[in-house]
Structure 1
Amino acid sequence: MRSLVFAAALSGFPLAVLADEVWYTMDGEMVYETDLEPYALISAPWDGDEVMLYVDELAFNYDARGVHGGFWIGPAARQSCDVAISAPDGRASYHWGRIQVTFDQPSFPTGFTVLMGSCFDEPDMILRANLAAG
């Protein structure tokens, strides 16, 4: 019985780690939602909506964070793209763009800066994620 309780407790451990990854932006809280290899999925407030950031090579990466590419997808944007994209988790939208995420430090916990673009455009908008007080 003890083994089952211990196993159940350990199975929740990664979720507890993910729940600790919360940052603040000027628009609200940003949360590390889950890992979907090779992407880490981070929800973020942007222009009154919530967008999902798909950060490449960040899934299960807690000690080698640097500069990561990826994309965002959301319900609204400054403009609609000519084509829709589908994300690995099944989300699809005409509102998406490229991102470049640069972490302040290589290890958790750390803040980061996201450069965001619309559609295939080069990223030109900035979203700053500061560590939440813990």
Structure 2
Amino acid sequence: MMKSNLLLAAAIVFTGSALADEAWTSQIGDVVYERDLPTGEAVLSYPASDTKARGLAYIEGLAQTYEGRGAFEGVWIEDDLPPADACNVSISDPETGAARNNWGRLELVFTEPDFPGGWVAIRGDCFNQPDSYLVGKPIVAEDAQ
């Protein structure tokens, strides 16, 4: 009985580890899978440009998907900009509902279908067509040593 309880506990910890341990290295720094939202978006954080804060990417349909990954869409949000530099239209932050003026569209395509896998992302500012590329390579335990 004790052995089966230990195995069950280990299985629960292991299956939950993909979310907590999933991170990628990229040209701009580490991208981290932060959390899942109840609405089905996965929240990824990344080093934001020109600031010490981290930007957030909200990827639709990625929450709790660790196998059979393909192409996903979403939005990115960073700290608000002065009105002259901001998007003409603000969007609501998916978590807080606050109006945000520094955002854009994002397309994320995994290069391997299962965890851990790399990806290529393209993003654009505001409603503009995505045009900035980012490549994410998974950080795995042997890389950290």
TM-score in same-fold range (> 0.5): yes
Which TM-score band (shorter chain)? Answer: 0.7 to 0.9
SS of residue matched to 2:122: strand
Counterpart for residue 23 of structure 1? 24
Q: Higher strand fraction: Structure 1 or Structure 2?
A: 1
2:75 to 65, 68, 71: 71
The alignment of Structure 1 onto Structure 2 pairs a total of residues equal to 133
Counterpart for residue 49 of structure 2? 47
2:88 corresponds to 1:82: yes
> Cα deviation per residue 1:29-75 (whole Å; 9 max; x = unaligned)?
11000001321000012324421011111011111210101110111
Q: 1: distance between equivalents of 2:138 and 2:16?
A: 18
Q: Give unmatched runs, 5+ long, in structure 2.
A: 1-5
Indicate the RMSD between aligned Cα atoms, in angstroms. 2.6
Shift, 1:14, TM fit: 6.0
Q: 1: distance between equivalents of 2:131 and 2:90?
A: 20
- Percent identical residues: 36
Structure number, greater radius of gyration: 2
Q: Give unmatched runs, 5+ long, in structure 1.
A: none
Q: 1: distance between equivalents of 2:15 and 2:77?
A: 25
Q: 2: distance between equivalents of 1:101 and 1:17?
A: 18
Shift, 1:133, TM fit: 3.7
TM-score where L is the length of structure 1: 0.83
2:95 corresponds to 1:124: no
